[in-house]
Structure 1
Amino acid sequence: LELAELIRKRAGDNKYNLVQALNMARELANLLDEAQNKDVALEKLQEIMPDDFSDYWQQIVDFLKVVTEVWQQKKADEGIVEPVERRNQLLRNAAEYWRANPPKNPVIIAGTTGTVNATIELISSVIAAEKGYLVLHGLDRNLSQKDFREIDESHPQYNLANMLRSLKYEPQQVQQWQDFEITAREKLISASLFSAEKSHEWRDVDYSLGAGKMSLINARNIEEEATAIALALREVLQVPNKRAMLVTNNRNLARRVALKMRLWKININDSAGQEMLTLPSANFLIHLAEMAESALGPLKVLAFFKHPFVPVEYKAKIREVEIEKLRGLRQDNLCLADLQIEIEGFEEFAALFKRKNIRFRELLDEHLKLAENIALKGSLWDGYGKKLAEFLASLRADISEDYQIDPILYPEILRSFFMAESWYPEFGQHPRLDILSPIEARLLGADMVIIAGLNEGNMPQLPSNDSFLNQQIRRQLGLDLLERRIGQQAHDFELMAQTDELILSRSLKEDGSPALPSRFLESLRAVTDIDDNQRYISLANSWQHPESIMPCAQPAPKPPVSARPQALHVTSISKLMRDPYVVYANKILWLKKLDDIDEELSPADFGNFVHSAIEDFARKNSDNLEDLLSCGREILKDKYDGKLGVETFWWPRFVRIAEWLVERQGRQDGKKILIEASESWLIKTARGDFTLSAKADRVEIGDEITIIDYKTGGVPSKKDVEAGLEPQLPLEAIIFGKKYGKKTRDMQYWQVKGLVNDVAKIHSVSQKDKSCEDIAAEAEVGVTALVEKFYDENTPYLATPRPTVALKYNDYEHLIRNREWDF
């Protein structure tokens, strides 16, 4: 936090908010730790930065003064010692003491690769003593002295070789701790990780013996991989005293495996722990803060009140008001009273978010007080919630009393803290199974090792680009190149892969996209064949899938005639032709789509607004532009007042549409004009009567009639109208033609977009070789036949019988589940 505040002050003008500054502070802290590990003074940047570098790099140098000058001054003023500095000083103090007073008892240093300079100094003082020892775990005895001198930073032996050089030793001078032969597996792994220049040395060597008891799981996806691994681990427990460990960098995979092990009531130890954010108590606090900050935003309200720590009486109230209060367009000034809920202290807590700045401690205290007031008794801090309580107490103590934040950022700041902190179960973990990271696994042993997630990006984890320094500058400063991290991971892989019983695992796809196999795995497969372990994949599939599947036919509901609709609007005829199931669900089952939660304005809302304004205008029997604009204003005030984008985008479009419509209104030429007119037609069939109703946007009546439909979006094609797939206008022409005893002159779509360069267009559906009267006559025959067809109880309401002409928008698509029948 302190480093983040220094960044914000340095940048000035509120360039970064606190969340952004925290992320940058973490990057800076990592760079600072790395520099301290290598005893690099970042102040040297100013000296080595070439003058011909772009201004961007000069800005980087200036920015890094946050740590090279400002932070160093703050440390000096307040007597602060950073963790890495303290560790380095302790190591150097021990080294200095042992140089002056060589230890008389044995001192053994083991498990290090010497990547920290202070560690090298300590090692140097220990091995200078008579009884000092350095154990080099994993030193490759297959490499020659020449090989060690030529390896690059991405080689697994680079760090060990570099440490020996620092200590002025050659690898050949290292004595054997125990007498044993180099195994076939060691030879295989060593050969597979040779540099490309040495590949000719193993082409003619048979390394197949080293692949014994080594197998590869090729899963289709991460879910199948996790299931196969869980089965392999469960099988280990069938053998008394046998131990196994799963090693992976893929946290998603590790979590999935741990969850699957719980199916057998096995809690597997995961050394990485879990983010504090995974605790139910942490989620409760985050949801509560977000609900208050969003001024009872519907999504945040539902997220909070569905939490298991919320009392059941509150959940019941939310279910009662959800459709009315939380779905559809957001209601203005929503309060808890509107939701029929009373929570003491909530309004006061929510009011804190309206301040410009607030003390972090004050906001946190009020937050925790309210959370304890709402949560079920004994839920918030019980169990692992105690770990969250301890963390929050520590956080509160570390932050000064006067430290202020923008309250709007409070939920995100809290989330950032919870994501950066981990918690670990204290008991109840299985003693023979572990999930470990590579750096931990290399120092431990097990009877079986599973190295999982062997895809590029996971193993090895590709180092992210340094946010501040490029490779050239890192080298000049004396910092490790990023490739060295790949070499470290290669060393981990080299040690883990030497386990006798080894399972390698990867998924062919990650996040739905093909994944590249790990370079370590590809190197192994280049040297020798690896058994394809289909056994666990087969078990995984048989576990999750039945032995046989009895497919059923696609649903074809055939309700009795008495239950079938005896009246429809003309707009439903297209649905009956394209997707009869939609009519079945809507008119027979009476299923209605719920409004979306916290719905945003859509193009359909704009279309409804235009239609409503025109309908109100028609009732005034006026041709005055101001009257139409007044109708529009009233509707906006009643339904859309304060909604984002209405004044900025909707109103200018509506004004242009209104001007165009009023100008068209003046061209009546003695015609009678009907606006939003409703009529119906009784269709008589052999099986019964059927009523077809219509509400036409505009009907012009003279010697003949013209049917007009307003569209603020796209218009149906002439081809679809002629084919009968969009029969709205032809059917309206029939209905109004029968009413007024007149033929159809034209059928038009008035596409009123209201855009600056595209206010409106008129699209006629008439054809060169077919008049509108002919199209209407064909529609009359077609709709009569369609009605008779669906008055037959043997006619099913099929879902999308012709996929090529399926509805573009379908509210019942999730019920239809077409893909289940595509096969």
Structure 2
Amino acid sequence: MFDPTENLRVFTVPVGADFAAVLLDGLNMRMAGLDPFARAGVEVRLNTRRAQRVLQDRMARDARFAGMMPRIDGAEALLTQSGLSVAVDPLRRKVHVARLIAGLIAQEPGLAPRAAVFDLADRLLDLLDTLQAEGVAPDRLEGLNLDDVSKHWQISARFMRLLWTLWPDVLEQTEPGRQDPEVVRITQVAALEAEWTRSPPDHPLILAGSTGSRPWMRRLMRLVAGLPQGAVILPGYDPDLPEMLWQKTDKPSLTPDHPQAGLAQVGRAMGLDMADLPSWTSAHGSTARGRLVSLALRPAPVTDSWLAEAPARHVEVGEATEGLTLIEAPAEREEAAAIACAMRDAVEHGKTVALITPDRDLSRRVAAALDRWRLIPDDSAGRPLHLTPPGVLLRMLLNISGTVPAPAALIALLKHPLVGGAKQSRRLHLRRVIGLQTGRDVLATPQTDWDRIAGWAADRQNDDGATAWVAWLADCFAPLSRLTQDVEPALALRVLRGVADRLSRGLDDDDPEIWREETGLAATALLDRLDAAADAMTGLTLTDTMRLVEDELIAAQVRSAAFLPHPGVLILGALEARMTRADITILGGLNEGVWPERPAPDPWLSRKMRDNLGLPMPERDTGLAAHDFQNAINAPQVILSRAARAGGAPTVASRWMIRLTNLIAGLGEEGVAALDAMQARGEVYLDIARAVEAPAAPLPPAPRPMPAPPVAARPRKLPVTGVETLIRDPYATYARYILGLRALDLPGREADDRERGTVLHKVMERFVPALQGAQGAEALDLFAQTATDVLAELVPWPATRALWRARLMRVAPVLVEREIARQVDATPLAREVEGQRTLVAPPFVLTAKADRIDRAHDGTLRIYDYKSGTPPTPDQIRTYALQLPLQAEIARDGGFRDIEPAEVSRLEYIGMGASARIQPVDETDDRTRDAWQRFAELIASYESAARGYPARQQPSHLTYASDYDHLSRMGEWEDGDEAQVQEVGR
């Protein structure tokens, strides 16, 4: 098949060429004249399974290969034939290293948090693989100069030295007969070299598609290229790169982030003159697009070549950009919609289309947008397991392991689609969950109170099985709640699986849905793998174990076969795209930090330390990504896409996009016209996406509501706190007291402002009568003890308890001093006392609950109101904050329980916030003195059927969000819009 040669047999396929098609063309040409058995003896080794499937499929449909076809397999399969070493299980290896790092963190707590042990283990294993692959001896680490580096790098370097020296022994003790993957590969390549030296294969062997990014692969490529009938085919070769940049020097001319830097490294490793390598076929060579992109991506030191080569590119820029489209979307959502429209358009015209992107968020958005037309793309990556229903359920259980679940977490768990059984059991389960969620005060506790829930179930009418259901739930969660930090990982994993299984079966013990289909099988396989490695996890805490499970869930991917994808709509990663060619190629997510990705930081070795050890820099990964970009952008029809904003923040275009567009724009009028044409073609897809997502007819904005119900339906009773709402936002009064709508309490009890106000009121309620003439330090100590007791009783959150006590004690001296002064000429009379006063015409009852009423020595009353925040200002009191003036009118009328009518001599708001400001009410002011008359006039005005309840009547003062803003459709109307009366209830 190949002519004899003394040189290494290495061929290239140029960037942009359909690699599979070119490979088949060359195979057909070289196998011409071979008999069927000789053709069947040809071996083609590829670097990915997808590449193997693509080539097999194309070969099966190619009439030129009818009959006996060459054998197609993976490159690594060559090494497994040697059968020497066995690689250690990656999960067990990770756990072993994580335990060593945990010991380091225990000795050096400032190095990293304990929660980072598995992330640090992943990075350390990557570094360990690189050290082994590059052949760095342990003594090289000993020779590192650490005098001028920070303490962090000194600690990590010492740990690396120790690990690098002792790791083989640690691995032998923990995993007998197993070795690191890189060591296994190196050993297998060496064994293959020895075997082929004695008896080289006598049949053609072709290694194709690899860029040689790993040292062992470059060694294997050299071995195959030196066989009598061996050949290596390099993908994505740039034939337009100047020969001087391919030079074989100790200091490479190509920087690591250049697209061809990886192939240049292969050339140096194999001793090849890359500028003179032959092409696999002569039918594919340089193109106008390839020359333009090659020039745009030249290394920074030689960008002066832009000026030298501009005249030639100036002439052909129109041809080079003819098949290029540029989408610059305003935001991520618009980018995904435009890409989806481009893919839909391709299908409509009978063309295949492939989206190539490393951004999994973008690919998921595009897949969701394609669902509008029931187009299911063939996604090479599948879905992350942690985003599938089984993965979500397992993660929710991980978050409550070792604790009693919070009410919000409990409700979320019980509503999960895989919990509660199947069909009828599931429907009954959901009805009970909704009843539990809407039951008042059932879940108003920081942690789930099963006794309280059992009481709710016992009182539930027409549901005899509710009690058994609650008992089943408590029994399900009990094993998970009882887990402690020192539990054995194997037991924790069994409990996790058992709880998930039982919740999925439901009360009626149905077949568990969680382990079904591809996602369930993947979750089962993951848990099995974790169980198999449980013995290596000894010493891990419960938190460590659960974090490891979550990390593995996030890393796992699932390809679902529930629906057949469209064969012509593909979503590919950059690696899978090398062997796949579509009629239209879309390169999405071309923003800096996305494509290319930012190099991952190395927490173990600094850049200088890596350079001293001769290790590759992080920019090498950028160069590999650039190679994939250069190869993909040279396809005939290409759409380049990026979003100008991501997550609400501006983005920066990919460095490759910036260089390419700058070069095109600088090529005279032709270049400017070409760039404008690219952007115009992209704008077409953005316009289509806007049109698709726009409503058929714009909905008219909602008017500012002012419902006017019948007078008989209007409330006849309000608390004094509701008067402010009636003045400021009458619509909220309408919704609360006429429609009977109340905001649903969220599950759980939060440490919010309302809770803090309750605590502060309770402190003063207990402290005031207990003071009894105490002075100075004694009074302050009494206040401190009262605050401590109340907080311990009412605040179950230790951190919040400490914070609130500290804030209260900062203002305690002022509060105590003022309280002592108040009791000099007055005696506390009542606390949290209820009262009411009736308005005769129209009939109306005003209720109140006074925080505190004192009796002055002259027989008058003093009414105080505690404020956890800032007390209202005098202007606010005169305008709408009528709470204390109206309470004074109730007191004068004798409306407070067990308190005789009397004149009120003082009204005062007592601030207990950071400023401890007090705000007296000036009753000499006309508007304050006439509060009851103003209230009567307000109520009388609502006796007219024409008077409605407008939304946000005083918006200039309304600074809070109402529970009913969404009901009034606020946002569709402005505060300055005229409210429109709407007759309701008639």
- In structure 2, which of residues 725, 728, 734 is the aligned counterpart of residue 584 of structure 1? 734
Residue among 235, 239, 244 paired with 1:146? 244
- Contact 1:747–1:765 at 8 Å: present in 2 too? yes
2:298 equivalent to 1:194 = yes
Q: Aligned residue for 1:557?
A: 707
Change over 3 Å in CA distance of 1:512–1:650 after alignment to 2 = closer
AA at the equivalent of 1:795: R
CA distance in structure 2 between the aligned counterparts of 1:263 and 1:332, rounded to whole angstroms: 41
SS in 2 for 1:819: coil
State, as a whole percentage, how many aligned pairs show the same letter.
25
| 1:291 Cα deviation after fit | 4.3
TM-superposed CA distance for 1:309, in Å, is: 2.0
Moved more, 617-626 or 152-161: 617-626
Q: 1:275 aligns with which of 381, 384, 393?
A: 384
481-490 or 1-10, which deviates more: 1-10
The 5 A counterparts of 1:361-510 are 361-376=490-505, 377-384=511-518, 385-400=520-535, 403-426=538-561, 428-510=564-646
Partner of 1:320: 435
Describe the superposition over 1:654-711 as per-residue Cα deviations: whole angstroms up to 9, x where unpaired.
8868845752353126x895544544444466xx344434333335554866543222
TM-score normalised by structure 1 residue count: 0.89
Q: CA deviation at 1:463?
A: 0.7
**1:666 matched to 2:823:** yes
2:147 aligns to what?
51
Identify the range of structure 1 (212-221 vs 607-616) with the bigger mean alpha-carbon deviation: 607-616
Query: Displaced runs of 4+ in structure 1, greater than 6 A?
Result: 616-637, 654-658, 740-744
Summarize deviations over 1:214-252 as a string: whole Å, max 9, x none.
112222322222222223223333344x32211111111
Q: 1:531 maps to which residue?
A: 679
- Contact map agreement 1:145 1:170 (CA 8 A) in 2: no
Given candidates 335, 358, 376, the residue that maps to 1:249 is 358
C-alpha distance 143-553 of structure 1, shift in aligned 2 (>3 A): same
The answer for the alignment partner of 2:180 in structure 1 is 82
Q: In structure 1, what residue type is equivalent to 2:569?
A: L
2: CA distance between counterparts of 1:255 and 1:305? 27
Aligned counterpart, 1:68: 164
- Which of 658, 664, 667 in structure 2 is aligned with 1:522? 658
- Counterpart check, 1:123 vs 2:221: yes
Q: Which position in structure 1 is the counterpart of 2:884?
A: 729
CA distance in 2, matches of 1:473, 1:648: 46
Q: Structure 1 stretch 569-578 or stretch 469-478: which is displaced more? A: 569-578
CA contact (8 A) 2:590 2:653 kept: yes
Q: Could you state the TM-score of these two structures normalised by the residue count of structure 2?
A: 0.75
> What's the counterpart of residue 176 of structure 1?
279
Tell me, what secondary structure is at the counterpart of 2:289?
helix
Supply the AA of the counterpart residue of 1:330: P
Assess if the C-alpha contact under 8 Å between 1:19 and 1:413 holds in 2.
no
Q: Secondary structure at the match of 1:783?
A: helix
Moved more, 112-121 or 335-344: 335-344
Please tell me whether the aligned partners of residues 657 and 752 of structure 1 are also in contact (alpha carbons under 8 angstroms). Answer: no
**Alpha-carbon distance, 1:208 to partner:** 2.4
Distance across 2 between alignment mates of 1:598 and 1:143? 65
Distance 1:470 1:672, change over 3 A: closer
Q: How does 1:580-619 map to 2 (within 5 A)?
A: 580-612=730-762
The 1:58–1:793 alpha-carbon spacing in structure 2 relative to 1, beyond 3 Å, is: same
Correspondence 1:4 to 2:98 = yes
The one-letter amino acid paired with 1:454 is L
Give the one of 790, 794, 797 matched to 1:640: 794
Q: 1:47 to 1:580 in 2, by over 3 A?
A: same
Q: Is the 8 A contact 1:152 1:158 kept in 2?
A: yes
CA distance in 2, matches of 1:333, 1:693: 34
**Paired residue secondary structure (2:328):** strand
Say which is worse superposed, 411-420 or 325-334, in terms of deviation: 325-334
Kindly state the Cα deviation for residue 631 of structure 1 after the two structures are TM-superposed. Answer: 8.7
Structure 1 residues 735 and 244, CA, compared in 2 at 3 Å: closer, same or farther? same
One-letter amino acid of the structure 2 residue matched with residue 443 of structure 1: M
Which of 340, 353, 374 is the aligned partner of 1:230? 340
Contact 2:502 2:512 survives alignment (8 Å): no
2:584 is aligned with what amino acid? M
| In 1, Cα distance between equivalents of 2:159 and 2:751 | 43
The answer to whether the 8 Å contact 1:247/1:435 transfers is yes
C-alpha contact (below 8 Å) 1:698/1:708 kept by paired residues: yes
**CA shift in 2, pair 1:2/1:410, >3 Å:** closer
Work out which of the residue numbers 926, 933, 937 in structure 2 matches 1:774: 926
Change (3 A) 1:243 1:584: same
Residue pair 2:586, 2:640 contacting (<8 A) in 1 also: yes
Asked if structure 1 preserves the Cα contact closer than 8 Å seen for 2:719 and 2:848, the reply is yes
Distance between the aligned counterparts of 1:627 and 1:403, measured in 2?
A: 51
Q: Secondary structure at the match of 1:245?
A: strand
Displacement of 1:350 after TM fit? 3.3
**Alpha carbons of 1:523 and 1:557: their partners in 2 closer, same or farther (altered >3 Å)?**
same
Q: Following the alignment from structure 2 to structure 1, what is the Cα–Cα distance between the partners of residues 442 and 849?
A: 31
Larger deviation, residues 778-787 vs 652-661: 652-661
What is the distance in 2 between the residues matched to 1:741 and 1:346?
Answer: 59
Residue identity opposite 1:320 in structure 2: G
**DSSP-derived class of the 1:750 partner:** strand
Give the stretch that moved more between structures: 582-591 or 544-553.
544-553
Q: Deviations over 1:719-761 (max 9, x none)?
A: 3223x132223333444456699876553222234x7xx6x54
CA distance in 1, matches of 2:245, 2:345: 41
After TM superposition, the structure 1 stretch with the greater mean CA deviation from structure 2, 519-528 or 123-132, is: 123-132
Alpha-carbon separation, structure 2, partners of 1:554 and 1:661: 47
CA contact (8 A) 2:99 2:540 kept: no
Q: Distance in 2 between matches of 1:558 and 1:441?
A: 64
Q: Equivalent residue for 1:211?
A: 321
Letter in 1 for 2:267: L
Q: 1:648 to 1:521 in 2, by over 3 A?
A: closer
Whole-angstrom CA distance in 2 between matches of 1:43 and 1:793: 93
Change (3 A) 1:785 1:524: farther
Question: In 1, are the aligned partners of 2:398 and 2:546 still within 8 Å (CA)?
Answer: yes
CA drift at 1:115? 2.5
**1:666 partner letter:** Q
Indicate conservation of the 8 Å contact 2:328/2:641, yes or no.
Answer: yes
Q: Is 2:404–2:447's contact at 8 Å kept on the other side of the alignment?
A: no
Query: 1:110, 1:134 within 8 Å by CA — same for their partners in 2?
Result: yes
Conserved? CA contact 1:39–1:117, under 8 Å = no
* 1:548 matched to 2:644: no
Cα gap change, 1:452/1:170 in structure 2, threshold over 3 Å: closer, same or farther?
same
Give SS of 1:821's match.
coil
CA change 1:390–1:707 in 2 (3 A) is: closer
Alpha-carbon distance change, 525 to 333 in structure 1, aligned in 2, over 3 angstroms = same
Q: Give the counterpart letter for 2:365 in structure 1.
A: R
Counterpart of 2:217, as a letter, is T
Q: Bigger CA drift: 502-511 or 527-536?
A: 527-536
Aligned to 2:125: 29
Query: Is the 2:138–2:165 Cα contact (8 Å) retained in structure 1?
Result: no
Aligned-CA RMSD value = 3.4
Residue equivalent to 1:692: 846
Aligned AA (1:185): R
Deviation at 1:465, TM superposition (A): 1.8
Residue 73 of structure 1: how far off its partner (Å): 1.6
